[in-house]
Amino acid sequence: MKHIKTKELPRDSQPYEKCLSQGVQSLSERELLAVILRTGTAGKNSLVLADEILQLSSSRYPGLLGIYHLSIPDFQKIRGIGKVKAVQLKCIGELSRRIASTSAKESLSLSNPETIAAYYMEKLRHEEQEVLICMMLDTKNHFLGEKIISRGTVNRSLVSARELFLEALQFRAVYIILVHNHPSGVPIPSKDDRQITKELYQAGELLGIHLLDHIIVGDRRYVSFLKEGLLP
């Protein structure tokens, strides 16, 4: 199989032909990649090349998600992947991320933690460190903008209440919603998460800028402080 060219495979085993006859949803991850790669290289066809890409990316994240985290030099470590194919693969990963983010944004409701979590899950799921974002809202819960407050482990030494509320004041925000990710994929609030939320809630009340929720997103899971009754 390794040395057989893709076009020499049985017709129903050729990814391109299978896509045309059975629909794109019938393709496996390796077959999707093989269609994108179009050709293999000497001694291995596009399906084998796709297997090697998935194997390389699985050391970080399983399946297609891992491809997003590979760099152009990473791709070029595979024989048969030159600069052009490496750039194409990176662009496909970014395109997929943006499509998913746009789709989530269309259903975004600022009064519904689930839709907020879905939107930011797509934006943050590829981050390898914690990112804390502050969403700013007006008196009618209209979205005014967002600001990244910190990168790295969310703790009191990195999260500055002063910086956060200065940003909120610049946006003339009356309400804020905090969102941050847990790269581990497990969105259970830590002791620091709870303490920071309490302190920011209390500081906001003094300034007349009310913290509506703190949402922690993980891998297809989230925790809303509001829904769980964790706000002060």
Instruction: Judge if 118 and 218 occupy the same domain.
Output: yes
In a domain, 198, yes or no: yes
In a domain, 230, yes or no: no
User: What phi, psi does 104 have (nearest 5°)?
Assistant: -65, -35
Burial environment of residue 116 by CB neighbours within 10 A (0 to 12, 13 to 18, 19 or more): buried
Number of domains in the chain: 2
In a domain, 194, yes or no: yes
> Which of 82, 102, 122 lies at the terminal end of a domain, its last residue?
102
Angle between helices 46-57 and 29-37 (to 10 degrees): 120
In a domain, 1, yes or no: no
Contacts of 132 (CB under 8 A, 6+ apart): 148, 149, 150, 151, 154, 159, 178, 179, 180
8-state DSSP, 122: H
8-state DSSP, 35: H
In a domain, 231, yes or no: no
Where is average pLDDT lowest: 10-14, 32-36, 85-89, 159-163? 10-14
pLDDT tens-digit readout, 117-161: 988 887 787 788 899 999 999 988 888 888 998 887 665 546 778
- CB–CB of 85/70 below 8 Å? no
Question: Is pLDDT of 51 > 50?
Answer: yes
Q: How far apart are CA 154 and CA 149, in angstroms?
A: 10
8-state DSSP, 44: B
Query: Which residue type sits at 1?
Result: M
Q: Vertex 30, ends 26 and 34: CA angle to 5°?
A: 95
Instruction: Judge if 38 and 138 occupy the same domain.
Output: no
Query: Which residue type sits at 199?
Result: E
The percentage of residues in the chain with a pLDDT greater than 70, rounded to a whole number, is 84
Instruction: Judge if 94 and 114 occupy the same domain.
Output: no
Instruction: Judge if 192 and 139 occupy the same domain.
Output: yes
pLDDT tens-digit readout, 72-86: 998 899 888 889 889
Question: Is pLDDT of 103 > 70?
Answer: no
> Which of 102, 123, 154 lies at the terminal end of a domain, its last residue?
102
pLDDT tens-digit readout, 182-208: 988 899 999 989 999 999 999 999 999
Question: Is pLDDT of 39 > 80?
Answer: no
Segments forming the whole domain that contains residue 159: 109-224
> Which of 45, 72, 102 lies at the terminal end of a domain, its last residue?
102
Instruction: Judge if 53 and 148 occupy the same domain.
Output: no
Give start and end residues of each alpha helix (H) in 10-112: 15-22, 29-37, 46-57, 65-68, 72-75, 83-106
